[in-house]
Amino acid sequence: MHLQQFVSETIENLGGMVMPLEYALCDVLIPEDYASYFQNKTELRLSFDFEVAQENPDSEFVTFGSYVLEQLLNLIHEKTATTIRYAEVDRLALGNPQQKIETFLHDEQGSLAIESEKPVLGVWAVFQYHTAIIADEKTENTEQVWINMLTNECDSVMKQKQNYIMYQQQSPHTYPVPVKLDMDSAFQHATAHVREINEQQKNAQIDKRQIEKDIERINHYYNALLAENDKRAKRKGLSEAKQQEILAKKDTIKLERDKQLNEIYKKANGEIEINLENAILYFIPLLEYTINHHFRGNEKQITLYYNPISKNFFKYWDKRAGSLSHSI
């Protein structure tokens, strides 16, 4: 799918209108509900070719990294509930794979030989969270986590490259998915990652020295009140009603002290709220390589995947065999 087609279909799916004018040039109408994403504009002229953009200086040139495309992609991610997307890759091929694999596996001693190469579908689960840290104030934020479901690891590179992914709602490929997908594990891993980020942010916000001073100040203040109340209780000639009044005041002082201390402890510990807003599954064509590795009479197989989006390999072993996986 070309970029112009992707942008046009996205705007139409949002309820807007696209009116082609000439090659790589069109007028679009943005629904009022989404005008805030485009500097409160509801009418835009878009160009998709550099020369056309120069000939029409009143148009917005749309390319990867451009303002209009970034805003459309942000809008899509925010408005999505749960969906599946199939990435388009113009050409699933890798030149000189033997040399590139040897470079990637440079720490592996011995000889490497490619046994097979085949296209497969990699799967990335993308979880969008709304988070809040409640201490002195409530600090709200959003966190997006990409999980490579072939390795069950966070993938910061794909998160950075997401705006380079063109996709369809229907699969243009019949490639197999090489592993059994575990959405529950991916979700737990993503949530743990978000919680760790928020714990770090929460700890960075807390002034522990000031909290200790506040606790000492409150204890000193209420201890003085209790001591004064005890002096009153020891006076001679108090009626029973007065004694009950002083005793009740003692309990009231303790309750008030504990209430204020609890507020400080709550502030010190902070509270973290994590809510999942949406989830997306990206199916992305990959090249799977089975590599035979020989070293000192021993042989093993290594499975590598080449990702055309990140332009990198990542390694996979069967974790049931007690091995690890990693990506670059």
Ranges assigned E (strand) in the chain: 17-22, 25-29, 43-47, 60-61, 82-87, 111-134, 138-148, 153-154, 167-168, 271-295, 298-307, 312-316, 326-327
Is the pLDDT confidence value at 327 over 50? no
On the question of pLDDT at 183 being above 60, the answer is yes
Establish if 198 belongs to a structural domain.
Answer: no
Same-domain check for residues 43 and 14: yes
pLDDT in tens, 268-297: 667 888 988 888 899 999 999 999 999 988
**Residue that has been written with the tokens 């050409």 in this structure:** 91
5 vs 150, higher pLDDT: 150
Beta carbons of 115 and 304 less than 8 angstroms apart: no
114 and 172 part of one domain: yes
64-73, 123-132, 182-191: least confidently modelled range: 64-73
Q: Is 224 helix (H, G, I), strand (E, B) or coil?
A: helix
How long a stretch of residues is the chain? 328
Q: Is residue 165 assigned to a domain?
A: yes
**Would you call 191 helix, strand, or coil by DSSP?**
helix
Residues 93 and 68 in one domain: no
Q: Based on the domain organization, do 166 and 90 belong to the same domain?
A: yes
**pLDDT for position 82:** 54
Mean pLDDT score of the chain: 86
CA dist 149 and 165 (Å) reads: 17
Residues 98, 79: Cα–Cα separation, whole Å: 43
Structure tokens at 279: 């989830």
Query: Rounded CA gap, 171 and 164, in Å?
Result: 18
Q: What type of residue is 136?
A: D
Q: Is 207 left (phi over 0), alpha (psi -120 to 50) or beta?
A: beta
Q: Note whether 173 and 284 are same-domain residues.
A: yes
Report helix, strand or coil for 245: helix
In terms of domains, do 171 and 295 share one?
A: yes
Q: Is residue 185 part of a domain?
A: no
CA torsion through residues 69, 80, 182, 170, sign: negative
User: Between the CA of residue 169 and those of 29, 88, 280, 288, what are the distances in Å?
Assistant: 23, 11, 12, 24
Regarding whether 60 and 13 lie in a shared domain, the answer is yes
Cα diameter, the chain: 102
Per the structure, the count of domains in the chain is 3
pLDDT surpasses 60 at 328: no
Q: State the pLDDT at residue 320.
A: 39
| Average pLDDT of span 301-315 | 94
Do 92 and 153 lie in a common domain?
A: yes
Task: Check residue 37 and report its DSSP letter.
Answer: G
Cα atoms in the 13 Å half-sphere on the side-chain side of 171? 15
- Which residues partner with 293 through β-bridges? 112, 300
* Cα–Cα distance for residue pair 260/292, rounded to 1 Å: 66
What SS3 state is found at 102? Answer: helix
- Residue 18's domain comprises 3-79
Give the pLDDT score at 91.
85
Position 197 pLDDT exceeds 80: yes
Distance CA 238, CA 245 (A): 10
Please indicate, yes or no, whether residues 93 and 160 belong to a single structural domain of this protein.
yes
